[in-house]
Chain A
Amino acid sequence: MAERLLEVDDLSVHFATEDGVVRAVDGVSFDVERGKVLGIVGESGSGKSVTAMTLMGLTRDVNARFGGEVNYRGRNLLELSESEMQRYRGNEIGMIFQDPMTSLNPVYRIGEQIVEAIQTHEKVDKRSAGRRAVELLRQVGIPNPESRVDDFPHQFSGGMRQRAMIAMALSCNPSILIADEPTTALDVTIQAQIVELISVLKDDFDSGVIMITHDLGVVADIADEIIVMYAGRVVERAATRDLFYDPQMPYTWGLLGSIPRLDRPRPDRLHSITGAPPSLINAPPGCRFRPRCPHAFAKCVEEPPLENHVETPGHLDRCWLDVEVKRSVRAATIAGEAPEAA
């Protein structure tokens, strides 16, 4: 088994606000292994970005309360002081964000920003750091890196900016790369290139990757294991193949069903999951997905635990439905023929 780099155990992140306590992340657990990609999939508001930012300590605030553990190579990152955490950021764990247009400082050159990342954690002189920056740009596929390294961000296209961000995030050889919706702001052809790039670099740098997205197409390609988040919880966890071929959560079916398919007859309208995600302040009792689930029944008022119900031991889900029942109604639900939620 590959080296387990990160163990997240029952992580919770609550924010105290004027309207009440927002339980953005409510008991999430997962692992990240070296050389493997973990996909985190969910709608906006599911808690996936908050989870990622918490791993980096970027959600620390007077109004934030944390629970559980984030164990990176044996140390619980939640317990580290701010200055200790600074040594991990960029150095052990690197992160890239959704919008490359605004994520780079517009008044500094690309090379300067990469050099800054390097010099923060390593004692190298500016010239060597500069050479490394050029090599990193070359590795991420930027043509003519020797001259491009002195460009400003606005002189790069969106895809190139994201590549530069990736170069910067990997510049100190972190063991884990967290990619928070890296392709959402890019057009589709560039998306494919960036995903491919991350996959290649994962092997080159021998790191673990957390890929956060709402796009199932992106994770299908690159992820080894996927967790599906809903309303701050993990509702399904499986190896990629199992998730796509034997999904156990009606929510996952909804996600799969909402992807427009080229190999099926075109529907009149795009299929979506009815309703909206629940409030994170006053969560309804029981299964969080119950109000929107076409198959909810009496037992669903009781919160289902995340457990293994199928033959494959690593495949967990939070659903009371019997596995046989699920497998019989699943195809219809995904195709959009299921009855609407009660």
Chain B
Amino acid sequence: MLTFLARRLVGALLVCIVVTFIVFVIFIVVPGGDPAQRIAGKNATPQLIENIRHTWGFDKPFYDQYWVMLKKMFSGDLVSYTSQQNVVSQIVQGMPATFSLTIGAGIIWLFFGIVVGVVSAVKAGRTSDRLITVLALIGISMPVFWLGIVCRYYFAEGGVAFIFPDGEYVGLTQNPFQWFWHLFLPWIVLAVLFIGFYGRVLRGNILDTINEDYVRTAKAKGLPPRRILRKHVLRTSLIPVITLFGLDFASVLGGGAILTETVFDLHGVGQYAAQSINNFDLPPIMGVTMYGAFFITIFSVIVDLFYAYLDPRIRPT
């Protein structure tokens, strides 16, 4: 067990480092203009650009630059090219919003995803199942940015009503009610996509599991149908859903809800990532990518451990 854990954690660390390298290479290779020029701004003299290039080390060979960047990252010294702000502190500032968005949406989408999955499986083939399927597919197909803007327009900017606030994030400790109120629409918008998807996955798993031999055995033992569903069907059907949830949750926590955060102006890590990419600003891009990679790799290990807990066949003996 400990060797398994150690191996996975070392692997996770390696993945993070490789990710930084890949991001760096992409940045070097993709044409986006000279960073020195961007820092210098408009009306910059060639001399100024040259000075900036030298101060910032852009004239050094790329492996040198990469090494310097890695050092800065681990010492927390990463500074944005455009805004001169410390990347780490910017990320930390955005974390409460991103965490609030993720945890709230995660609870909603897991709960309703399971409900939708179970109901549509139990009523498979009937009208209610077909209706739920259509709704789920609509939910999956609606682009987040479109749904987000539509919700904002109708419910916050007066299209139908002024119920919800028009974007922005309010800290939980500042004002709990406003915190909830500001996050309500973003939660719904983010969850809708996942609910549809998880519902479909769970429905498929349940319908497969119902045909398994051990479910027939459970019936032959005289178990009532509710109990068969709960103990024998759901337990096995939920395993892939839970592991899927772990990874999706990690990715949203790692700043993956870029569109939702931007549409609702939540100033979370995702929005910061979007802005940095827009500005072609390497240090924040690097920082955010590392932040995301960290969460995804860690959760990946957690999910594997949890999977082994749920399915005894997988356990490392």
A90–B236 touching, CB < 8 Å: no
Interface residues of B in 193-248 (CB under 8 A from A): 212-214, 216-224, 231-232, 235-236
Hey, which chain A residues are within 8 Å of B217, CB to CB? 97, 103-105, 165, 168
A58 touching B219 in the complex, CB below 8 Å, given contacts A86-B224, A97-B213, A99-B213: yes
* C-alpha gap A29/B44 in the complex (Å): 100
The contact string, 1 if C-beta is below 8 Å from chain A, for chain B 5-17, is: 0000000000000
Residue B137 interfacial (CB < 8 Å): no
For residues 50 through 104 of chain A, which have their beta carbon under 8 Å from a beta carbon of chain B?
56, 58, 83, 86-91, 94-95, 97, 99, 102-104
Q: A152-B312, A152-B313, A154-B313 are in contact. Are A103 and B214 (CB under 8 A)?
A: yes
- B221 near A103: Cβ-Cβ < 8 Å: no
Which residues A104-134 have CB closer than 8 A to chain B?
Answer: 104-108, 116-117, 120-121
The answer to whether B310 has its CB under 8 Å from any CB of chain A is: yes
Cα(A99)–Cα(B311), bound, Å: 20
Q: How far is the CA of A99 from the CA of B214 in the complex (A)?
A: 10
Q: Which residues of chain A are within 8 angstroms of B232 by Cβ–Cβ distance? A: 105
Is the beta-carbon distance between A107 and B223 smaller than 8 angstroms? no
Chain A residues contacting B214 (CB-CB under 8 Å) are 102-106
User: A89 touching B222 by the CB < 8 A rule?
Assistant: yes
Residue of B213, B222, B312 near A103 (CB, 8 A) is B213
Asked if B216 and A58 sit within 8 Å, CB to CB, the answer is: yes
**How many residues belonging to B are interface residues under a CB distance threshold of 8 Å?**
20
- A102 and B213: CB pair below 8 A? yes
User: Smallest distance from the beta carbon of A178 to chain B beta carbons, Å?
Assistant: 9
User: A152–B313 Cα gap in the complex (Å)?
Assistant: 8
Interface centre among B214, B224, B232, B313 (most CB of A within 10 A): B214
Instruction: List B contacts of A102 (CB < 8 A).
Output: 212-214
Which partner residue on chain A sits nearest B225 by CB separation?
A: A82
> What's the minimum C-beta distance from B243 to chain A, rounded to whole angstroms?
14
How far is the CB of B315 from the nearest CB of chain A, in Å?
9
CA separation between A258 and B172, bound complex, in Å?
A: 79
Q: Which of B217, B218, B220 has the most CB of A within 10 A?
A: B220
User: Are A117 and B213 also in contact (CB < 8 A) when A107-B311, A152-B312, A154-B312 are?
Assistant: no
Interface residues of A in 170-225 (CB under 8 A from B): none
Decide: B216 and A83 in contact? CB cutoff 8 A. no
Cα–Cα distance between A13 and B313 once the two chains are bound (Å):
39
Partner among B213, B219, B221 whose Cβ is within 8 Å of the Cβ of A168: B221
Q: Are A103 and B216 in contact (CB under 8 A)?
A: yes
Of B218, B219, B222, the residue contacting A87 (CB under 8 A) is B222
Find B222's partner among A106, A121, A154 (CB 8 Å cutoff): A121
Quick check: A120 and B222 within 8 Å, CB to CB?
A: yes
Closest chain B residue to A106 by CB distance? B313
Which A residues lie within 8 Å of B216 (CB)?
58, 97, 103
> Are A89 and B310 in contact (CB-based, < 8 A)?
no
Closest-CB distance, B13 to chain A (whole angstroms): 32
Are the C-beta atoms of A116 and B223 separated by less than 8 Å? yes
Closest A residue, CB atoms, query B313: A154
Q: Please, which residues of chain B bring their CB within 8 A of the CB of A86?
A: 222-224
In the complex, what's the smallest C-beta–C-beta distance from A29 to chain B, in angstroms? 23
A89, B223: Cα distance in complex, Å: 8
- With a CB–CB cut-off of 8 A, which chain A residues contact B212? 102
**Complex formed: what's the CA distance from A83 to B222 in Å?**
9
Q: Which of A83, A87, A106 has the most CB of B within 10 A?
A: A106
Interface string of A217-259 (1 = CB under 8 A from B): 0000000000000000000000000000000000000000000
Please report the C-alpha to C-alpha distance between residue A154 and residue B310 in the assembled complex, in whole angstroms: 14
Note all chain A residues with C-beta closer than 8 A to B224.
83, 86
How many Å from the CB of A5 to the closest CB on chain B? 18
A156 shortest CB reach to chain B, Å:
12
* Residue from A83, A87, A102 with most neighbouring chain B CB atoms (10 Å): A102
Q: Which residues on the A side are within 8 Å of B220 (C-beta)?
A: 56, 58, 89-90, 94-95, 97, 169
Most buried by B among A108, A154, A168: A108
A86→B219 CA distance, assembly (Å):
8
Residue of A nearest to B214 (CB): A105
Chain B residues, Cβ within 8 Å of A108 = 231
- B218 touching A106, Cβ below 8 Å: no
Q: How far is the CB of B135 from chain A (nearest CB, A)?
A: 26
Q: Is A105's CB under 8 angstroms from B222's CB? A: no
Q: Which of A58, A103, A106, A116 is B311 in contact with, Cβ under 8 Å?
A: A106
B312 near A90 with CB under 8 A, answer: no
Which one of B212, B216, B235, B311 has the greatest number of beta carbons of chain A within 10 Å?
B216
In the complex, A88→B217 CA distance in Å?
A: 14
A97 to B218, CA, bound (A): 12
CB distance from B125 to the nearest CB of A (A): 10
Alpha-carbon distance A165/B213, docked complex (angstroms): 12
| CA distance in complex: A291, B235 (Å) | 49
**Could you tell me if B213 and A106 are in contact, using CB atoms closer than 8 angstroms?**
no
Given A83-B224, A87-B222, A169-B220, 14 further pairs, Cβ under 8 A: A56-B220, A86-B224, A90-B220, A90-B221, A97-B216, A103-B214, A104-B214, A106-B312, A106-B313, A116-B221, A116-B223, A152-B312, A152-B313, A154-B312
Sample (22) of A-B pairs whose CB atoms are under 8 Å apart: A58-B219, A58-B220, A86-B222, A89-B220, A90-B220, A97-B217, A102-B213, A103-B214, A103-B216, A103-B217, A104-B217, A105-B214, A105-B218, A106-B311, A106-B313, A107-B311, A116-B221, A116-B223, A117-B222, A120-B223, A154-B313, A165-B217
